[in-house]
Amino acid sequence: MKIAIVGAGAIGGFLGTRLAATGVHQVSAVARGATLQALRTHGWRLQGSAGLLQAPAHAVQDPAELGPQDLVIIAVKGPALAAVAAQIAPLLGPATTVLPAMNGVPWWFCQGLAGPVAGRNLQSVDPGGHIAQAIPRDRVLGCVVHASTATPEPGLVRHVMGQGLIIGEPAGGSDALSSARVLAVQQALQQAGFDCTVSPQIQRDIWYKLWGNLTTNPVSALTGATVDRILADPLVRRFCTDAMDEARAIGARIGCPIEQTPAERHQITAKLGAFKTSMLQDAEAGRGLELDSIVAAVRELGSAVDCPTPTIDALFGLARLFGRVHGLYPEEPGTASP
C-alpha cells in the first residue's frame, strides 16, 4: 500500500518506522520543522529494547507532493486536527482509508451508536462540523493505540511499552470484522510487528481507554506527577474514582458499557509503574493540551444523555485554567465547554 503518516511524533513515528522497516509498503511522512528535517537527514528511527530500528523516510511538508494514498494515518494531537483536516485533501483518493491514531473521543464517534447521541456531531471536538466535512466519516477506520512512546528529540521515538492496536469499522456490526479494508490494514500492521486486533464495536474500545485517560492525563498535567503517584494518593485516587463513575454511567447510556469498577482499573494501571502520561509530556514540552477530546467530549455526551458530571466538570475547569495560564489551551471558550 501507499501509506502516509500525518504527524511523525511519538505515535506517528512509532507506526511509521515499523511499517517502513517491513519494506513492503511505500511509507511517507507529512511533517514540519525539526521533525521534517530529522526525517530527511536520518530517516525513520525507533529506539526500543532490541536497539535502534531505522528505515529510509520520504518526508514532505506539503501533502500535495505525495498525491492520493491507500491509507492515511493521522497521528497528531487533538488541537492540531482541524488544521490537518483542512490540508490533507490531496492525500484522499476515491478509495483512501483514514486511520486516526489519536487519544480521546474522535469526531466520528457517534456514527454507529444508537439512542440520543446517534449521529451526533460533537461540538467539543469538531465545532461546526468542519473536520467531518474534510474527512467524511465513511472513509474512517477507528483505531485505539495501547502503547507508550516518547520523543527524546525530533524524529527519534523511544518505545516504552506496549504494541497493541485495535481497529474497527465505525458503523460496527458483524460484517465489520471482515470488511476488505479492515483486513488489509490489520495485515499491514501485523506484518509490522503490532498486536493488531479487530473490534466489532470500536467505540467501546475507545471509551474504555478514555475511561483511564480521562483522569490520569489531566491530573498528571496539573500536578506533574507520574501515574503511580496519582494512584498512591488516597484523596486523588478517590477524585479519579468519582470521575470514572460518572463516565461509566455515561458509557452505559450511549451503548459503551464498562464492566470493570474504577478500583479494578486502578489495579491494572498501577502495574504499569511510574510513567508519564502523554498530556504530562505535552505540558512539560509546552505543547497544547488535548482537553477537548479527552474531557470536554465526555461532558458533552453526559449532557446529551442527562448524566450529571460534577467531578468531571471540576477536573475540566481546573485543567482548562492551568492550560490557559500556561498558554497551552485557548482563551476563547468552546461551544460545548463554557
Task: Write out the three cell numbers for 120.
Answer: 451526533
C-alpha count within 13 angstroms, C-beta hemisphere, residue 2: 10
> Which candidate, 163, 172, 63, places its Cα nearest to that of 108?
172
Q: Could you tell me whether strands 142-153 and 92-100 are parallel, antiparallel, or unpaired per DSSP bridges?
A: unpaired
Burial (CB < 10 A; 0-12, 13-18, 19+), residue 39, is: buried
For residue 106, which phi and psi values (nearest 5 degrees)? -80, 165
CA R_g for the chain: 19
45 forms beta bridges with: 54, 156
Cα distance between residue 93 and residue 70, in whole Å: 8
Query: Of residues 2, 209, 271, 276, which has the active-site annotation?
Result: 209
Report the SS3 class of residue 166.
strand
User: What is the Cα–Cα distance from 70 to 72, expressed in whole angstroms?
Assistant: 7
In the structure, how many helices (H) and strands (E) does the chain have? 13, 10
Helix axes 310-325, 297-304, angle to 10 degrees: 150
Count Cα neighbours of 60 within 13 Å in the Cβ-side half-sphere: 15
Known active-site residue 209: yes
Catalytic residues: 209
